[in-house]
């Protein structure tokens, strides 16, 4: 999937959001209601990109892995690598996804483009303090870079995926 993050999309008449995009929009709205600021495709660890990363005012990180289909879930073996980079980990799916296949030890969100519902809270697993500090700094820098790109104040040729 090579789509643009929300806010950096093509003009509406040229862009049709994918299932994952619609889930991401609802997830970001829900995280906002809960006091988190969200970034899509946020790089953690050794280059892995979390679908949605959220940071709240207390420095707590949440990562949400979007699964648009059962095949998407079955083909993905990388999601456990995100666990050390968040305090809470969720799977987000659309209504109708077979939820019983998702690991019960992680949170579960059902979302569409308008809203999301947390069906199962994620357990709190605190990050290492040194990792948290570095990731908060990185989150701020990535957010600033993407804002510069979105508003046209970044140097030409920049790509939001190069963060």
pLDDT tens-place string over residues 115-162: 999 999 999 999 999 999 999 999 999 999 999 888 887 676 655 555
Predicted TM-score (pTM) above 0.75? yes
Report pLDDT for 47. 85
Give me the torsion for CA of 82, 116, 33, 53, rounded to 10°: 20
pLDDT tens-place string over residues 71-115: 999 999 899 999 999 999 999 999 999 999 999 999 999 999 999
Report pLDDT for 16. 77
Contacts 24+ apart (CB under 8 A), 130-137: 131/84, 131/85, 132/59, 132/61, 135/44, 135/61, 135/85, 136/55, 136/59
Mean pLDDT of 31-53: 95
Report pLDDT for 58. 97
Helix or strand holding residue 144 (H, E):
helix 129-151
DSSP 152: T
Mean pLDDT of 52-72: 97
């Amino acid at each position: 999937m090579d789509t643009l993050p929300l806010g950096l999309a093509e003009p509406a008449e040229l862009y049709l959001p994918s299932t994952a995009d619609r889930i991401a929009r609802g997830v970001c709205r829900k995280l906002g209601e809960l006091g988190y600021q969200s970034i899509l495709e946020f790089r953690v660890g050794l280059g892995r990109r979390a679908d949605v990363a959220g940071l709240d005012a207390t420095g707590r990180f949440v990562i949400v892995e979007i699964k648009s289909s059962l095949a998407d879930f079955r083909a993905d073996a990388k999601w456990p690598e995100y666990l050390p980079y968040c305090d809470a980990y969720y799977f987000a799916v659309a209504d109708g996804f077979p939820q019983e296949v998702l690991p019960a030890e992680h949170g579960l969100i059902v979302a569409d483009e308008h809203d999301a519902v947390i069906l199962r809270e994620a357990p709190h697993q605190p990050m290492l303090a040194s990792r948290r500090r570095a990731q908060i700094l990185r989150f701020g820098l990535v957010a600033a870079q993407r804002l510069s790109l979105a508003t046209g104040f970044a140097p030409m040729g920049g790509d939001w995926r190069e963060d």
